[in-house]
Amino acid sequence: MRSSVVLFLLFALSVLLFGCKSSRTITQKTDEDNSEKLPLSYGELRKLDVNFSEGLIKKMQGDYPEAIDKFKKCLDVYPNHAASMYEIAFIDNGGGKSAEAIPYAQKAVSLDETNEWYRLLLAKCYMETGKFVDASSSFEKLVKYNPENVDYYFLWSSALLHAGKVKDALEVYDRIEQKIGVSEEICLQKERIYLSQNQFDKAVAEAQKLINSTPSETRYYNMLAELYLQNNKPEKAMEVCNKVFEINPKEPRTHLLLAEYYESLSDDAKAFSHVKVAFENPDMSIDEKVKILIGYFNIPEKFKEEREESAELINILVRVHPNDAKSYSMQGDFLNRDGKNNEARDAFRRAIQLDKTRYPIWKQVMALDEMLGDFDSMESDSRQAIELFPSEPLSYIFNASANYQKKNYKQAIEIIDNGKDYVAGDKKLLAQFYSVQGDCYNATKEYPLSDEKFEKTLNLDPDNANVMNNWAYYLSLRNEKLDKAEKMGSRANQLVKDNASYEDTYAWVLYKQKNYEEAKRWQEKALEHGGEKNGTLLEHYGDILFQLGQPDNAYEYWQKAKVTGKHSDLLDKKISDKKMYE
């Protein structure tokens, strides 16, 4: 059975390769002269067929060196075997060896001038080696033998342009138009060519040709109007825009074109009036409107007029596209930029109601929950985000942090364990997971586990100032590993300057080391950088002053700490007895 299949395959290949020339005998030609030798013997024909079929198989398998070897063996049998030459050229060209492919492709074409695949490959090799004149000649022949294939005309014109034969390329475009009629692609290409040659009137004629072909297509009018504006002919541009408004008075792209024009004249009010008309049109896609709004996003606060414009456009966007999540997402971004956190969160939540599939919006909501200190919402929102996007690790951090704030420490630890496996290669993100667990284990007084998690955090993120600060403070409260705490507190303040919380932690570590003078110096820095409104920091300063033998001054700062409402449980006793308690 197998041998029959092989024989059939060989027969089929013979027909495929030589059937079109069956009216004449297959012969070989010597290198010395062009005299024909005797026909191929059956054995030679069989050897040719076997090598060619094996070459095709190797080519399909991707074994290109072996395929080329088989095709060259075909040429050993029959030097004028055009199909083998084509296959060698095809493989070389595909492997980036276009220059090496050219002689084989040229030979294949010389043996069979009307074979379009041979000539197409040769033209491609010419193009890829920068032989554009040769390429254009090959494409011209392709057009000659295949006059109805419009694609070859386009390739021919491209080769001519690359060869710098602009006039010839334009003539080819004219021939294409005779075949397919007025084409936007051709008109635009001819317009670009005419503009590059400073033939403005001819460029205008091409744009006008498009308008004449489809008078109701406003896009073509806009192309012509833009052409006039770019060439300092605003009066002509206005005439074209007015024609557009006769068709559609609210055509958004025409209004945007006019907005750009008036902006170039510094007539901002008139420019903005046209932008508003465009935004009011529901036919203009929301994506186009969002692109315009992005241009407003980074406007400095001092440019109040432009910020007011962006707010007005946002309101129009929401009104015109009330059922698109992008409207509210964009609104949320602008409100968030302006520090209107509650309103921003409301906008993002509205976006989520319309489209729950966009994780970046969920991330914005969770971040605003944290910023607003709304840990109930943060826990709820992050739980929903985990259900919808279980492989997004950041949601687990938000959920665990919310549970930590709600004193659900065991639940927070469990959430972290569930989520950290989704962290892929991001060391700093994984460090955040261990950091939250370190805080939780400290809260449950499982100090060895807490220290272990913080150690893992700093191994992954050695310059995490926040973790160094927190761990140093926990150690100071435990009165343990104070040397380590002092080093971390010092490093945290090197990394982050003028941070009252970090300065307070370092001062308190020094206090626990009984280095009261240095502790006083750092605590004064903390008060100078905003700590005078923090009861804990004021109480710490009072404690330091007491240890330095200044009980009256200590009493004064304890009283200040009492007013803030945030202090230790021992503060009232310190005040009543005017004594230090720890």
Answer whether residue 37 shows pLDDT above 50: no
CA–CA separation, 119 and 111 (whole Å): 11
552 belongs to a structural domain: yes
8 A C-beta contact, residue 14 and residue 52: no
pLDDT average, residue stretch 495-509: 96
Q: pLDDT exceeding 90 applies to what percent of the chain?
A: 76
Answer whether residue 31 shows pLDDT above 70: no
- Burial pattern 470-505, b for ≥16 Cβ within 10 A else e, equals bbbbbbbebeebbeebbebbbbbbeebeebbbbbbb
Q: Which of 129, 145, 176 is the last residue before a domain boundary?
A: 129
pLDDT average, residue stretch 570-582: 90
pLDDT average, residue stretch 383-412: 97
pLDDT recorded at residue 34: 35
8 A C-beta contact, residue 101 and residue 125: yes
Q: How many angstroms separate the Cα of 496 from the Cα of each of 233, 256, 464?
A: 57, 47, 10
CA 548 remoteness from chain centre: 59
CATH classification of the domain holding 123: 1.25.40.10
522 belongs to a structural domain: yes
173 belongs to a structural domain: no
CA–CA separation, 250 and 462 (whole Å): 59
Q: How many domains is the chain partitioned into structurally? A: 2
What is the identity of the amino acid at 468?
Answer: M
551 belongs to a structural domain: yes
pLDDT recorded at residue 502: 97
- Give 306's pLDDT tier (boundaries 50, 70, 90): confident
pLDDT recorded at residue 302: 64
Q: How many angstroms separate the Cα of 321 from the Cα of each of 102, 279, 311, 312?
A: 58, 10, 15, 14
Containing structural domain, residue 105: 40-129
Q: Which of 68, 100, 129 is the last residue before a domain boundary?
A: 129
98 belongs to a structural domain: yes
Answer whether residue 496 shows pLDDT above 50: yes
Answer whether residue 452 shows pLDDT above 80: yes
Answer whether residue 17 shows pLDDT above 90: no
Answer whether residue 428 shows pLDDT above 50: yes
pLDDT recorded at residue 300: 76
pLDDT average, residue stretch 50-67: 94
User: What is the chain's percent helix, strand, coil content, to nearest 5?
Assistant: 75, 0, 25
Report the length, in residues, of the chain. 582
141 belongs to a structural domain: no
323 belongs to a structural domain: no
Among candidates 156, 212, 211, 204, which has minimal Cα distance to 179?
156
- Give 385's pLDDT tier (boundaries 50, 70, 90): very high
209 belongs to a structural domain: no
Q: Which of 97, 129, 161 is the last residue before a domain boundary?
A: 129
Sequence-ordered alpha helix ranges (H) in 95-131: 98-111, 116-128
Average pLDDT over the chain, rounded to an integer: 90
